[in-house]
Amino acid sequence: MVRTLKCMLLTGLFSLFMGSLVAQEIVINYDESKIPAYELPDLLTLNNGQQVKNAVQWTEERRAEILEIFAQEMYGHIPARPAGLHFKQMSEEVVYNGLGLRKVVRIYLDEAEQHWFDVLIHLPKNAKKPVPMFAGLNFKGNDATLDERAGSRWPYELILKEGFGVATAWRDAIEPDGKDSKIEEAVSVCKDGGVRAWYNPGGDWGAISAWAWGLSCIYDYLAIDKAVDASRIAVIGHSRLGKTSLWAGANDTRFAMVVSNCSGCCGAAISRRVIGENFARIATSFPHWFTRAFDKYMNKEADFPADQHSLVALAAPRPLYIASATEDLWADPKGEWLAAVEVAPIYKLFGKTGVKSIYPAPDSPDMDGTVAYHVRTGKHDITAYDWQQYLDFAQKHGWGK
């Protein structure tokens, strides 16, 4: 007994010591002058060293190589949707003085209806034709988005007035977000510990892949909703859900537009800049977001066989919007913008243009090309200002009224 206690004490002390060692190793840099010299992996060089010369070669060869790097080394592979996937509308009501219809659709993941999550959908009520949509996950639950609309994260009236619909589901109802998840409130899929535990148990996919999988299930529903224009569904997300949006858009090209809001490290920001959040920090704080293969890149950003511009490039040739906030240095706004700059050659293969080569002033969106960028004044958040730009951008591409 005494021996066991002693052993426990020693183990405890040892892990405390190791813990502080690990903590000490993670240095966060905010100084541009301390960014290491780096070279980005070339988007247009195939694994066999040959150059990609045209759009077909990009789409059929290089794109698949890059997708596999991120599946293998960062987020994990996303499995197919389950055979039993089906849907049931749970409610419908008229909201905002007749401006919109609000409905809840339950996405059942199995025939037996044991596993499911709910999608909250808002549609313009008097639309004359199927409407374009934004689809994205939320942080606090579907009902919370109704309160958040005043705080502008989900400005439903604004979106509806512009002629768009919007669909959202709670990320934790698909896969709990680690130890802080309010898992007891997520009675659906999460009663079995989240989709990763229930579906494809043992598969090495991180929560970001599970959330991206959930977004594709949402698409599957929207594609059969007659009120929705299935050819115009944008995937959107903020922060960790912005990383998810990029990854979902990369895997599921049915999403016709990709929006990344303050997605930062392992989102749009160039990793090799190692400024703000870095691989060691993100892999330590949020190990459940990633495949275990990712751990080996802690403090070794330059060893990663791609960089985040490669992920961002997988949105091509679809309209892509990357946004940052001036005070969000943790997410490295400049690095997010650089990724947008770097993908220009890929869009060029398709005869499309990217962003300008000058960093835009705050609140001056650069959205003349097929790739757009803005840096909003303020904090790490998604606001009505951000949404207005995404709506304008979509309209520029022929979406909306």
- Binding residues for ligand GTR (CB under 6 A): 239-240, 264-265, 277, 282
Nearer to ligand GTR, 63 or 238 (CB): 238
Nearer to ligand GTR, 153 or 240 (CB): 240
Nearer to ligand GTR, 132 or 237 (CB): 237
Strands 100-108 and 86-95: antiparallel
Q: Give the nearest distance from C-beta 334 to ligand GTR in angstroms.
A: 16
Nearer to ligand GTR, 277 or 342 (CB): 277
Active site residue 380: yes
Q: Give the nearest distance from C-beta 265 to ligand GTR in angstroms.
A: 5
Residues 6+ apart with CB under 8 A from 114: none
Strands 165-170 and 131-138: parallel
Q: Give the nearest distance from C-beta 176 to ligand GTR in angstroms.
A: 14
Q: Give the nearest distance from C-beta 278 to ligand GTR in angstroms.
A: 10
Nearer to ligand GTR, 82 or 237 (CB): 237
Q: Give the nearest distance from C-beta 171 to ligand GTR in angstroms.
A: 10
Q: Give the nearest distance from C-beta 25 to ligand GTR in angstroms.
A: 17
The structure tokens listed for 120 are: 């909250």
224 burial (CB, 10 Å; 0-12 / 13-18 / 19+) is exposed
CA distance 267 to 258: 12
The structure tokens listed for 258 are: 């990709």
361 burial (CB, 10 Å; 0-12 / 13-18 / 19+) is exposed
Q: Give the nearest distance from C-beta 139 to ligand GTR in angstroms.
A: 7
Nearer to ligand GTR, 225 or 386 (CB): 386
CA distance 78 to 15: 33
Q: Give the nearest distance from C-beta 380 to ligand GTR in angstroms.
A: 7
Q: What is the CA radius of gyration of the chain?
A: 21
ω into residue 317 within 30 of 0, thus cis? yes
Nearer to ligand GTR, 282 or 343 (CB): 282
CA distance 242 to 231: 21
Among residues 288, 270, 283, 261, the alpha carbon closest in space to that of 382 is found at 261
Among residues 233, 18, 53, the alpha carbon closest in space to that of 130 is found at 233
Residues 6+ apart with CB under 8 A from 77: 71, 203, 204, 205, 209, 291
Nearer to ligand GTR, 244 or 370 (CB): 244
Q: Which of 209, 239, 245, 310 is catalytic?
A: 239
Residues 212 and 263: beta-carbon distance below 8 Å:
no
Active site residues per annotation: 239, 380
